[in-house]
Amino acid sequence: MKFLAAAAQIGPRLGNLDANRELLAGEVRKAEAEGVDLLVFPELSLTGYFLKDMVPEVAIRRNTTAIREIAALSENLSLVVGFVEESGRHGFFNSAAYFEGGELLHVHRKVYLPTYGLFDENRYVGRGDKVRAFDTRFGRAAILICEDAWHPSLAGVASLDGADLLIVPSASPARGVSKANGEGGLAIQRVWQSLTRTYAAAYNQHVVFSNRVGYEDGINFWGGSEILAPSGEPLARAERGSEQLLVTEVDTANVRRARIASPTLRDEDLHLTLRELRRIQRSREG
């Protein structure tokens, strides 16, 4: 199956839901005009990132008009949108929702909330407690939000759960402009490129990394969104720093070809992994 995948590399406005709803709707119209089938927005694309005390003010519950309005945008193309989710008992989560055919299909709550250095997420939102692959019209997919992707254990679980498409909405701040390694460029971008490439190649899956742009309180989000083939090769890469709709054709037959060339999934030993993890767990519990 061939389809057009896209990353909407946008710069949402901080805490301005109305402006961001319009921004998202505009990108959906642009993507529709290009015939895009799957459009992935960055992390917290509906709200902006450094929300702090704004979190409860911009939070949305699942069965609300706000969600139905976004779902309605997915009549013609599938959508991944990042937002602040409020649970029935008023927990707040950094979530990303998958919409298809006008319906909400799946929500991933970010599991690993960076709370160190310039990040303060766990002060404001709660931690998700699961990662699940889910069925889409493009096959089985999973969502990991930004820091989640720095935990290969989550990517491994998603792959074992059947995900052949890994969707990574992100809001990664730019840092590290040293030339010391001789390459130049952003240090954080180099690390991300090796992460996405590793997942694509090791799990023979397509990866859509959608990273935002713009500045919040002096912090730049660098963009550089990517769509990668199951061979590990980038199919398309967005510019650093500018708004862009990154579109490329994805052919699911390439998953098959990659698995023939490199049958890591066939050889993956779930029992060994579980046995060793249980042993480690027992030893940690003393």
Partner 1 sequence: MSDLHANKFSLSGFFNNPSYRRLVLLDEGLIEDAMAELEVDGDLAAGLLAGFIKDEVSKVGVKKLVLGLSGGIDSALSAFLAARAMGPENVTGVIMPYRLSNPQSEADARAVAEKSNIRIEIVDISPQVDAYFERFPDADNLRRGNKMARERMTILYDHSAMLGALVVGTSNKTELLLGYGTLFGDMASAVNPIGDLFKTQVRQLSRHVGVPAQVVEKAPSADLWVGQTDEQELGYTYEVADAVLYRMIDCRYTREELLGEGFPPELVDGIQRLVQRSQYKRRLPLIAKLSQRTIDRDFRYARDWGL
Nearest approach, Cβ of 85 to partner 1 (angstroms)?
20
Q: Which is nearer to partner 1, 106 or 212 (CB)?
A: 212
Nearest approach, Cβ of 51 to partner 1 (angstroms)?
8
Q: Which is nearer to partner 1, 184 or 286 (CB)?
A: 184
Element (H, E) at 160: helix 152-160
DSSP per residue over 116-145, as a string? STT--HHHHSBPP-----EEEBTEEEEE--
Nearest approach, Cβ of 41 to partner 1 (angstroms)?
20
* SS3 call for 232: coil
Nearest approach, Cβ of 192 to partner 1 (angstroms)?
15
Q: Which is nearer to partner 1, 118 or 270 (CB)?
A: 118
Q: Which is nearer to partner 1, 84 or 111 (CB)?
A: 84
Contact assessment for residue 255 and residue 164, using Cβ atoms and an 8 Å cutoff: yes
**Closest C-alpha to 159, from 78, 270, 80:** 270
Instruction: Give CA separation, 132 vs 62, 188, 226, in Å.
Output: 18, 27, 22
Instruction: Give CA separation, 248 vs 47, 100, 189, 205, 273, in Å.
Output: 26, 19, 20, 15, 35
Nearest approach, Cβ of 177 to partner 1 (angstroms)?
5
From the centroid of its chain, how far is CA 169? 2
Nearest approach, Cβ of 45 to partner 1 (angstroms)?
16
Residues that bind partner 1 (CB under 8 A): 13-16, 50-54, 174, 177-180, 184-186, 214-218, 220, 241
Backbone angles phi, psi at 18, to 5 degrees: -60, -50
Dist. CA 99–CA 191, nearest whole Å: 30
User: Cα 116–118–120 angle (5° rounding)?
Assistant: 60
Q: Cβ neighbours of residue 165 under 8 Å, at least 6 residues apart?
A: 136, 138, 139, 140, 141, 142, 205, 206, 207, 208
Nearest approach, Cβ of 216 to partner 1 (angstroms)?
5
To the nearest 10 degrees (0 to 180), the angle between helices 17-33 and 65-72 is: 20
Q: Which is nearer to partner 1, 194 or 242 (CB)?
A: 242
Q: Which is nearer to partner 1, 13 or 140 (CB)?
A: 13
Nearest approach, Cβ of 65 to partner 1 (angstroms)?
21
Q: Which is nearer to partner 1, 66 or 265 (CB)?
A: 66
Q: Cβ neighbours of residue 192 under 8 Å, at least 6 residues apart?
A: 170, 172, 209, 211, 224
